C-alpha cells in the first residue's frame, strides 16, 4: 500500500507538533520546512494524475488532475505564507503586539490550517470533504481573531457564525445528494465517494439533485465568498494577520470552490444546465458587487478582500459556462489568482506594518520610504488588475473568450466593462499611495524571508502568463475537456 497522500498531510501535522514543542524562532523555521516538504511530496504524488496518468485512489483518498491542481496551489500558498510569516510575526514581536506564547500558538494553528486545506483536496468522500472544510473554519477562526483586539473578535465571531451556518446548509445538500443515490447505490458506505457518485450520476434522482445543488451553492458559496453570502469575507480578510489573509484568500476560497466543482460535475450529468446557470448568476453578481466595493473601499486589505470576491466571481462564471475553453481559462485564473493575491497581501502587510494604518488615504510617499515594497505593490496591482503579460490577464481573457465562443455576448461584454472598472479602481488606489511625501520617518520592514516570498510569487505569476510550459497547458486542457463532459 502506498503512502504518498499520507506523507503530504503528515508534514504540516509534524510541523504543528514541532511548533508546539519549540521556541518561536524555531517554530517559524519548522513551519516553513514542513510546508516546503509538503509541496515537494505533493509535487511527486501529483505528477502522475496531472500528466494524464491514472488517478490516485486508495483508502479514503482520491486525487485526479483537478485535485492535483488545487492541492499544488494550496501547498504553494501555504509555503509562501509560512516563509513570509517568519519576518512578519517576528516584527510583531519586536513591536510587542504578540507575546512569546502567542507566536508559538500562531505557528501551531497555521500548520493545522494548512493540513486541513490540503486534506480537502485529496479526500474521496464528499462527507469527509465536508468535515475537512468545517475543520478549516474552526481552526482559522483562531487565526482571524489572533490579535484579540475588539475588531478582531468581531471579525472572527462573524466568520465563525456565518460560515458555520453556511456549512450546515451545505451538509443538507450532501445529505440530499446521498438520498438521491439511494435507489441505485443503496445504503452502501461507498455511496458518498466521489468517483462512485460520478459513475452513477446519470441515474441520480433529478428532483433531489436540484435541491441538493441549491443547498450546496448556498452553503459552500458562503465559504467561497459569493455575493450575497460574502459578508464575513472582507472583515475576516482585513482583520487577520497578513499571512493568514493571504491563505484565506488564495487557498481557503479555492477549497470551497473545489467542493462546489465536484458537485457541479455530478449535477451537470444528472440535471444538465441547471447547476451551471446558477453558478453563472452568482458569479456575475459577485463580480458586479465586488467591483463596486473595490472602487469605494479605502482600507487596503478590505479592497484586496473585495478583489478576491471579484476573482471568485470570474472563476465561477468560467466553470459555469462549462465549455472546454472557458474551463481552461477558469483553471488558469484559479492558478493566477492564487499566485498573485498573496503577493498583494504581502505588500499590504509591509505597508501596514510600516505605516501603522490600513487607510489608503493616510499612506503617502511609498516610493520614497519603501522602494522594494512599492515596486512589488505596483507590479502586484498591475498583475491583479489583469494587465498583460501577467497570468491574471491570460485567465480573464480566456474566460471572456470562452463566453463569446459559447454565444454569451452580453455576459462577455459586461465582464469586460467591469474588469476595466476594477483595474481602474485598483491601480488608482495603489498608485495613489506611491506619490507624495511620507510625512514621517517610515522604515521598510526588512528581512530576506519576506522579500524572497514576494519575489518568488511575482516571478511565478509573470512566468505563468508569459511562458506557460507545454506540459502544464496540456494537463489543464485535458482537465477542461474532461470537466466539460469528454472522456479523460
Partner 1 sequence: MDPALAGNLIDLCAVAMLLLSMLAMTTTRMGQLLNAFAAQSLFLAALAFVVGDVTGHSRIWTIGAITLAVKVVLIPRFLKYTSDRIHVGRDIDSTMGIPGSLLISAVLIIVAYIVAEPLVATLETITRNCLAMSMSVILIGLFMMVTRRKAMTEAIGLLMMENGLFLGVMSLSYGMPLVVELGIFFDVLMAAVIIGIFAQRISKTFDSIDTSVLRRLRE
Distance of alpha carbon 428 from alpha carbon 425, whole angstroms: 5
Distance of alpha carbon 461 from alpha carbon 337, whole angstroms: 9
User: In which residue are the cell numbers 500548520 written?
Assistant: 111
Does 154 contact partner 1 by CB under 8 A? yes
Does 245 contact partner 1 by CB under 8 A? no
Which residues have a Cβ under 8 Å from the Cβ of 472 and sit 6 or more positions away? Answer: none
CB of 207 to partner 1, least distance (A): 6
Distance of alpha carbon 224 from alpha carbon 230, whole angstroms: 8
Among 178, 393, 423, 483, indicate the residue that binds partner 1 (CB under 8 A): 178
Enclosing H/E stretch for 396: helix 391-405
Distance of alpha carbon 435 from alpha carbon 364, whole angstroms: 6
CB of 238 to partner 1, least distance (A): 8
Distance of alpha carbon 435 from alpha carbon 366, whole angstroms: 7
Nearer to partner 1 by C-beta: 114 or 323?
114
CB of 147 to partner 1, least distance (A): 11
CB of 423 to partner 1, least distance (A): 21
Q: How many CB atoms lie within 10 A of CB 311?
A: 30
Does 150 contact partner 1 by CB under 8 A? yes
Q: Could you tell me if 338 and 73 are in contact, meaning their C-beta atoms sit under 8 angstroms apart?
A: yes
Q: Which of 33, 113, 15, 69 is nearest to 339 (CA)?
A: 69
Distance of alpha carbon 271 from alpha carbon 147, whole angstroms: 47
Positions in 354-413 near partner 1 (CB under 8 A): none
Nearer to partner 1 by C-beta: 145 or 385?
145
Among 25, 100, 149, 488, indicate the residue that binds partner 1 (CB under 8 A): 149
Does 191 contact partner 1 by CB under 8 A? yes
Does 173 contact partner 1 by CB under 8 A? no
Q: Could you tell me if 444 and 350 are in contact, meaning their C-beta atoms sit under 8 angstroms apart?
A: yes
Enclosing H/E stretch for 164: helix 150-180
Nearer to partner 1 by C-beta: 135 or 456?
135
Among 179, 421, 455, 456, indicate the residue that binds partner 1 (CB under 8 A): 179
Nearer to partner 1 by C-beta: 153 or 397?
153
Which set of grid coordinates corresponds to residue 1? 500500500
Nearer to partner 1 by C-beta: 192 or 325?
192
Nearer to partner 1 by C-beta: 228 or 407?
228
- Residue 229 DSSP code: S
Among 235, 268, 396, 444, indicate the residue that binds partner 1 (CB under 8 A): 235
Positions in 286-305 near partner 1 (CB under 8 A): 293, 296-297, 302
Half-sphere exposure of 254 (CA within 13 A, CB side): 37
Nearer to partner 1 by C-beta: 238 or 398?
238
The footprint of partner 1 (CB under 8 A) covers: 125, 127-128, 130-131, 134-135, 138, 141-142, 145, 148-151, 153-158, 160-161, 164-165, 168-169, 171-172, 174-176, 178-179, 182-183, 187, 189, 191-192, 205, 207-208, 211, 234-235, 238-239, 293, 296-297, 302
Amino acid at each position: 500500500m502506498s503512502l504518498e497522500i499520507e506523507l503530504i498531510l503528515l508534514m504540516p501535522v509534524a510541523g504543528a507538533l514541532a511548533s508546539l514543542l519549540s521556541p518561536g524562532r524555531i517554530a517559524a523555521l519548522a513551519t516553513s520546512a514542513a510546508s516546503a516538504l509538503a509541496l515537494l511530496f505533493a509535487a511527486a504524488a501529483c505528477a502522475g494524475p496531472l500528466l494524464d496518468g491514472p488517478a490516485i485512489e486508495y483508502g479514503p483518498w482520491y486525487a485526479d488532475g483537478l485535485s492535483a491542481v488545487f492541492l499544488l496551489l494550496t501547498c504553494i500558498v501555504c509555503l509562501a505564507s509560512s516563509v513570509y510569516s517568519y519576518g512578519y510575526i517576528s516584527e510583531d514581536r519586536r513591536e510587542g503586539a504578540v507575546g512569546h506564547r502567542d507566536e508559538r500558538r500562531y505557528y501551531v494553528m497555521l500548520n493545522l490550517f494548512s493540513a486541513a486545506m490540503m486534506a480537502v483536496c485529496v479526500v474521496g468522500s464528499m462527507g469527509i470533504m465536508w468535515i475537512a472544510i468545517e475543520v478549516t473554519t474552526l481552526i482559522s477562526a483562531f487565526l482571524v481573531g489572533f490579535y484579540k483586539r475588539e475588531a478582531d473578535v468581531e471579525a472572527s465571531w462573524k466568520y465563525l457564525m456565518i460560515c458555520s451556518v453556511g456549512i450546515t446548509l451545505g451538509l443538507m445538500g450532501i445529505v440530499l445528494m446521498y438520498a438521491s443515490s439511494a435507489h441505485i447505490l443503496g445504503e452502501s458506505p461507498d455511496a458518498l465517494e466521489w468517483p462512485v457518485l460520478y459513475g452513477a450520476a446519470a441515474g441520480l434522482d433529478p428532483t433531489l439533485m436540484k435541491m441538493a445543488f441549491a443547498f450546496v451553492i448556498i452553503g459552500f458559496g458562503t465559504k467561497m465568498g459569493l455575493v450575497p453570502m460574502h459578508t464575513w469575507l472582507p472583515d475576516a480578510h482585513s482583520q487577520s494577520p497578513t499571512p493568514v489573509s493571504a491563505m484565506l484568500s488564495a487557498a481557503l476560497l479555492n477549497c470551497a470552490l473545489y467542493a462546489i466543482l465536484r458537485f457541479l460535475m455530478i449535477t451537470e450529468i444528472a440535471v444538465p444546465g441547471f447547476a451551471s446557470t446558477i453558478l453563472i448568476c452568482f458569479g456575475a453578481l459577485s463580480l458586479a458587487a465586488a467591483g463596486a466595493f473595490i472602487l469605494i473601499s479605502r482600507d487596503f486589505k478590505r479592497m484586496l478582500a473585495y478583489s478576491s470576491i471579484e476573482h471568485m466571481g470570474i472563476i465561477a462564471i468560467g466553470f459555469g459556462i462549462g465549455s472546454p475553453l472557458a474551463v481552461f481559462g477558469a483553471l488558469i485564473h484559479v492558478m493566477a489568482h492564487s499566485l498573485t493575491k498573496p503577493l498583494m497581501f504581502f505588500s499590504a502587510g509591509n505597508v501596514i506594518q510600516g505605516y501603522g494604518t490600513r487607510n489608503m488615504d493616510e499612506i503617502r510617499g511609498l516610493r520614497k520610504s519603501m522602494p522594494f515594497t512599492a515596486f512589488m505593490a505596483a507590479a502586484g496591482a498591475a498583475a491583479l488588475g489583469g494587465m498583460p503579460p501577467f497570468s491574471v490577464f491570460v485567465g480573464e481573457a480566456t474566460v471572456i473568450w470562452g463566453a463569446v465562443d459559447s454565444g454569451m455576448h452580453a455576459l462577455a461584454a459586461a465582464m469586460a466593462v467591469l474588469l476595466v472598472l476594477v483595474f481602474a479602481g485598483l491601480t488608482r488606489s495603489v498608485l495613489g499611495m506611491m506619490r507624495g511625501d511620507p510625512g514621517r520617518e517610515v522604515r521598510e520592514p526588512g528581512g530576506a524571508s519576506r522579500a524572497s516570498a514576494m519575489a518568488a510569487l511575482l516571478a511565478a505569476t509573470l512566468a505563468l502568463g508569459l511562458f506557460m510550459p507545454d506540459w502544464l497547458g496540456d494537463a489543464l486542457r485535458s482537465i477542461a475537456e474532461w470537466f466539460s463532459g469528454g472522456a479523460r
